[in-house]
């Protein structure tokens, strides 16, 4: 079993009906997590995760707790097999998965918290007013320049600094589409719209950030068992008050994912495990540093990859 890995959790957009079901069926540790989720959010919640329909799963208030539950369930299975971690990071929503997995935030408290987070983020921007698009094949600095140019017609800013040659932009529809057009003219290889229901990580989400600040006032954050790398600072922290502050700020500020990973590497972490639905953290890891061993654990069969790694 891989020991002392950097553990990476996915964010919104990784969801699909049926995710995590093999862990529910075959892992006692994972099933315990799903049973806790059912006790907190009801049987219909598990039905939505395992059976859909996709339209219901795609609703932000369902998506966020669903990804949290699946990610934590998979991590608990790996933990029961002897895996330890030296640091954790999660992409946006995934930061909550990291905090729960590291013992800083209780799972029962995190589920309704991220459900409210999803509702607040959705309510912050009327449907159809905003969107997010991933731009591939341009330097971050070039996309930042294009965003500044497109702001003549509306708000648009970088939202996720994912990896070299990939940055997500967020904002008002017309401005985001203008960036897509200008990026194509500048040589972007392609662009793709994210499966999200609001333009996250930009100033349009300020009202959601304010509501999350109120919610987090009454939430107990403990010192995590391993350091968490914050999305907004790209740096390690185990201070509960700083963690809470970072969770508030990440709602309307960009996610510094690439720099987060580079800082983990700089601190000596050279093995990574992506834990949760989809394999986006592992894919981006290979773009950031392909020399680092990276394993994605999404299905029960993937657990064998860790055993076979010989670490």
Q: Is 251 exposed, middle or buried (0-12, 13-18, 19+ CB in 10 A)?
A: buried
3 state SS for the chain? CCCCEEEEECCCCCCCCCCCHHHHHHCHHHHHHHHHHHHHHCHHHHHHHHHCCHHHHCCHHHHHHHHHHHHHHHHHHHHHCCCCEEEEEECCCHHHHHHHHCCCCCHHHHHHHHHHHHHHHHHCCCCCCEEEEEEECCCHHHHHHHHHHHCCCCCEEEEEEEECCEEEEEEEHHHHHHHHHHHHHCCCCEEEECCCCCCCCCHHHHHHHHHHHHHHHCCCCCCCCCCEECCCCCCEECCHHHHHHHHHHCCCCCECHHHHHHHHHHCCCCEEEEECCCCHHHHHHHHHCCCCEEEEECCHHHHHHHHHCCC
Alpha carbons 144 and 137: distance in angstroms, whole number: 13
Distance, CA of 172 to CA of 116 (rounded, Å): 23
311 CB neighbour count, 10 Å cutoff: 13
Whether 271 is catalytic: no
Query: Which one is catalytic: 71, 92, 197, 260?
Result: 92
**Annotated catalytic residue: which of 85, 188, 201, 230?**
201
Would you name the residues annotated as active-site residues?
Answer: 92, 201
């Amino acid at each position: 079993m891989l020991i002392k890995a950097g553990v990476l959790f996915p964010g919104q957009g990784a969801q699909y009906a049926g995710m995590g079901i093999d862990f529910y069926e075959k892992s006692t540790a994972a099933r315990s997590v799903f049973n806790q989720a059912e006790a907190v959010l009801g049987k219909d919640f598990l039905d939505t995760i395992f059976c859909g329909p996709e339209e219901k799963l795609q609703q932000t208030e369902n998506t966020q707790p669903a990804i949290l539950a699946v990610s934590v369930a998979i991590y608990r299975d790996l933990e029961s097999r002897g895996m330890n971690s030296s640091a954790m990071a999660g992409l946006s929503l995934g930061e909550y998965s990291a905090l729960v997995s590291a013992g800083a935030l209780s799972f029962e408290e995190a589920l309704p918290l991220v459900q409210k987070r999803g509702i607040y983020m959705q309510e912050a921007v009327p449907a159809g007013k905003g969107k997010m698009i991933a731009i591939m094949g341009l330097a971050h600095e070039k996309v930042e320049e294009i965003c500044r140019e497109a702001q003549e017609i509306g708000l648009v800013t970088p939202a996720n600094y994912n990896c070299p040659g990939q940055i997500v932009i967020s904002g008002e529809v017309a401005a985001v589409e203008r960036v897509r057009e200008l990026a194509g003219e500048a040589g972007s290889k392609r662009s793709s719209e994210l499966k999200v229901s609001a333009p996250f990580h930009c100033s349009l989400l300020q009202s959601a950030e304010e509501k999350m600040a109120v919610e987090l006032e009454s939430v107990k954050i403990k010192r995590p068992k391993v350091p968490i790398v914050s999305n907004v600072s790209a740096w390690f922290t185990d201070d509960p008050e700083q963690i809470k502050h970072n969770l508030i700020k990440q709602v309307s500020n960009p996610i510094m994912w690439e720099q987060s990973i580079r800082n983990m590497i700089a601190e000596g972490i050279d093995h990574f495990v992506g834990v949760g639905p989809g394999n986006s953290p592992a894919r981006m890891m290979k773009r950031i540093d392909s020399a680092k061993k990276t394993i994605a654990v999404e299905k029960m069969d993937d657990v064998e990859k860790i055993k076979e790694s010989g670490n």
